[in-house]
Each structure stands twice: as structure tokens, then as C-alpha cells.
Amino acid sequence: MLLFRRVLSHTAAALLAASLVASCGSTSASTPPSAAGSASAEISPQRVVAQAYRLIAERHLNEPDFRKISVETYRGFAATDPDLSLQTDGRIYSVMRGGKEIVSRQAPNDPADGKAWGAMLAELFTASIAASPTLQHADRNALTKAAMVATTQQLDKNTRYADPDEARDNRFQRDGGGGIGITIERTKDKKVMIIAVQDGSPAGKGGIRPGDQILEIDGENMIDRPLIDVVHKLRGPVGAPVSLSVLRLSEGRQMTVLLQRGRIIPTTVTYERDGNLALIHLAGFNTATTDSLAQAIDKARADIGPGLAGIIVDMRGNRGGLLDQAEGVAELFVGDGIIFSTKGRHPDSQHTYRSESHDWSGDLPVAVLVNGNSASAAEIVAAALQDRGRAVVIGTTSYGKGTVQTVVRLVNQGELILTWSKLVAPSGYTWNELGVMPNVCSAKIANPDTIGPSAVDANQALLRRWHAERDPSAQEVADLRKICPPSAEAPQRDLEIAADLLHNPKLYAEAVRLGSIDQAAAH
């Protein structure tokens, strides 16, 4: 499974059919489940780290140097016992406790040999546990997590470890699972409130409404329980019953309903009509996103009719999702040709993704909204539609996550989310760290009503420079990102600018042309 990073908000929006987290993927590289639930505690840190080292050596974007990584892995593992330390001269690795050597091993000859370094660390771990009462009484999952976090921090900012509980949530978010189809949040006064109910879900069919407060699940009081506990209580096998007691504040009454869990996939696409425009909010990329977006476009056509003047795809705050869904979404707008490419060390990480004339949207004008929190899969779509001259991108420079992660299920049912390739736009640039620059930088437009050719033309030279970059230095990246600084805001003026451009065919066409491959190639 290939992913881009997607961050789950701690404050709210836990979609109880699934709590979305994760990023972009198309191929699966998972170890068959060998344990479940609490059985993961029986899996030793030695096994998990040894497996992770082999995967890092084989698949990471950059060839690893385990001489340095192994030191940090051990330090993370042994952090709870201050009497333990690892000493090395680069050839011999010795574990000391209280000034006394308890084990010593010769380093493997090849600093990139993950199997050999993992085996050496396993011996150091085993000897350390035998010598340390602190480690003997420590939770095995906690030791594993400490070692794995220390390991991934040495690689890149997007490689990370998910412990078994987080990994379970990740899988639920990507693929869906048994739930009732509600979104909840905890309010400032600590109430667990339902803020959205999916159409056709068990909760919707059972009469549950947004604004209901959750009181009990299967007879257990949920008022003071952590939000994640409430999420897990609502999940379960498809078809299994769950009793939900809620307080309907609007009616001042309590009600209890017996629901049957269904297969729920988090909602990532919502459509609303804005006059003769279709406003589509794209919040993430999971297994249902492409189909949901196609349905939204069809709904807009039926709703607005022949007068449909264009589509606004709002991806502000969209942190990513599955790689194949980014491809699918781009194909809904782009005809034949390249959408994006990936490049990495592993042969399977090198691929060119092409559209096959799906172009579900026909020749409808398209405006894409991005901001500084639009990342990974969202950037794939924005870069592809901009480069191919299929949409005008509006907002601020995007996040700049131009790498792909492969997600591997580990023997303890945790996950290693491992960076293994870089993304390349159709014009040839990679937006990693750099981001996607909009055709129209809305931050520089004080009054959307005054948008004209000057606002569109202002970025022409800058876009050409942006698309010409191949391996910019950190300083060059910083300088370029200052041109249209990334912002976490999602201002109304972005929508107003998009509407003005879509209602001005001549200006829209010019804005699209200035960001396309053809324009870049002409210079």
C-alpha cells in the first residue's frame, strides 16, 4: 500500500466508520497477519526492528547508513533505563550498564546491509533486556515503538512508525470497515457530539441526527471517555449490533436505538450548488474518492443542467490519501497523456502514470483551490491539472510533500510507512519541499472583484521558473516559497476569485494557458 501523509485531527472529526489518517497508495506490501489485538504484545522488539531494517535497506528512497541509524535505534529502545548506553568506534558496538560491558558485537562490513545490522541489534536488545530489570518490566509495545520512532526519525520527515492501535485506525481510514457512519467531536464542555451522519448509513437509517449527544454505547457511559475510546466502541464487525443512547438537545429527550453496523468508508467528497457552478469539497483520498467525485460531477450536471458553467474543486486542507485515487481523480479531468511519474531506488517505485481519456468532466472549466495544508495526493491532482492546462489553480503555495510512502504491515500488526519514491509533475519538476504554486496567488488580491489580466499575468514568469526547477537548493526553495507564502487559511476570496474566473472564459483560458506545459515549453 502506497501512502501520502494525512494527519487526523485530535480535536474532532473522527469519522466513526473510519478515522482517516494516511496518504497515498496503489500497491500493497504487507506481511500476513500473525497476531491480533493484545497478541502484539508478545512480539519482541527484536523481530520488529529486524524486519524494519530489511525493508529500509530494500525500499527506502535513499540508501541507508545503518552505522548511524543503529545507534539511535538502540538509544530509543533503551531510553527508559539510564544505566544502559551504547558505545562504538565504528567497528565494535558495545552495550554498557553501570560502567560494565554486558555485550559486544562486531559491526557488519556493509553499512547498508539491513539484514546484518538488524541481526546485530537483536543480539544487543536481547542482552540488554537480560541485564536490565527496567526493560524486563517494560511493555514490549512501548519498547518497540521507542526503537522504531528513533529509527524512522533518522530517515526523512515522512517515514514513520504506527503502533498496532494507530495502524488499525490507518487501515480503517484507507479501506473502511464496520461502523455506523457518523462523525463526532468533543466540545469544550467535554460532550461527545455527532456533527455529521452519512447518507444511507446505519445511523442515518436509525434516525440519528447531527447535534445529538452520545451518552452510552452498549450500556457503557461515554461522557468522560476519551474520544478514541468512543470511536473504537462504535466500530466492530459488519453486521454486528450496537446500542447507541443519545440526548437530542433540540427536543430535550433521550433515546436509545439498536443499530446494525455496516461497511462504512469515510466521506471525502461533498457537492453543493453555487448558482451555475458546482462547488466540490475534496477532503482526502480513500478507496471511494474517485467514484464519489464522478458521482458528484454527474449530480451537478443533473442539478444545474446545460447552464453548468464550471467546477470548483476545493482541496484546501486536504493532506493526501491513496496514490491510485489521486491518479483516478486526475483522470476524471485529464485526457490522454502523463499525469505524474514516480522515481526511487527500488525498481517497483519507478513508474509513469498516464490518463486513458476518462475525462469525466468533459470540457467544463475547472478551478482548483489549494493552500499551505494541501499535500501529497492533493498536490498530484493540482500539479497535473495545472501542467496539462486543464485547470486554473488558485490560493497559496501548497505544502510541498512530493514523496510516496509504501506501507508495510509488520509482524506485530504495526505499520512502517516508508518513503520510497519522489513524485514528478508532467512538466518534469518535483514539488517535494517546494510545493505547487497557484496560477493566481489569492493572498495578493485584496479585492476579488478587481481581478483582471494583471493578476493572471503576474505569475507568468514565476510559474515558468517554478516548472523549470529540477533540484533546487534549500535556499532556492525558501526563496521561491516566499513568492506566494503557504497559508493554512481558507478564505472566502478564493471561492470568489474562482467564480469570477469561471464566469470570464477569456480570462480563465489565459490563466490556464500560462500554467500549462505548452507555455513552459514555449520559453
Q: Quick check: helix, strand or coil at residue 469?
A: coil
Q: Are 386 and 436 in contact (CB under 8 A)?
A: yes
Residue type, 250: S
| Contact (CB, 8 A) for 52 and 406 | no
Strands (E) located in 249-388: 253-260, 262-264, 269-274, 277-282, 310-314, 337-343, 351-355, 366-370
Distance CA 209, CA 195 (A): 8
427 catalytic residue (yes or no): no
CB 421 within 8 A of CB 404: yes
For residues 229 and 221, give the distance between their C-alpha atoms in angstroms, rounded to a whole number.
11
Alpha helix segments (H runs only) across 215-369: 227-234, 289-304, 323-331
DSSP H stretches of helix in 78-160: 114-131, 133-136, 140-152
Give the alpha-carbon dihedral of 466, 469, 471, 477, to 10 degrees.
-20
CA atoms within 13 A on the CB side of 142: 9
Which residue has cell 478514541? 228
376 annotated active-site: yes
Contact 491, 436 (CB under 8 A): no
Residues 477 and 430: their CA atoms lie apart, in Å, by 11
The catalytic position among 23, 132, 341, 376 is: 376
Task: Say which of 44, 349, 401, 516 is annotated catalytic.
Answer: 401
Of 81, 324, 387, 494, the catalytic one is: 387
Q: How far apart are the first and last CA of the chain?
A: 39
Kindly report the CA angle at 520 between 383 and 508, in degrees rounded to 5? 65
Q: What is the number of alpha carbons within 13 Å of residue 461 lying toward its C-beta?
A: 3
38 flagged as catalytic: no
Residues with a catalytic annotation lie at 376, 387, 401
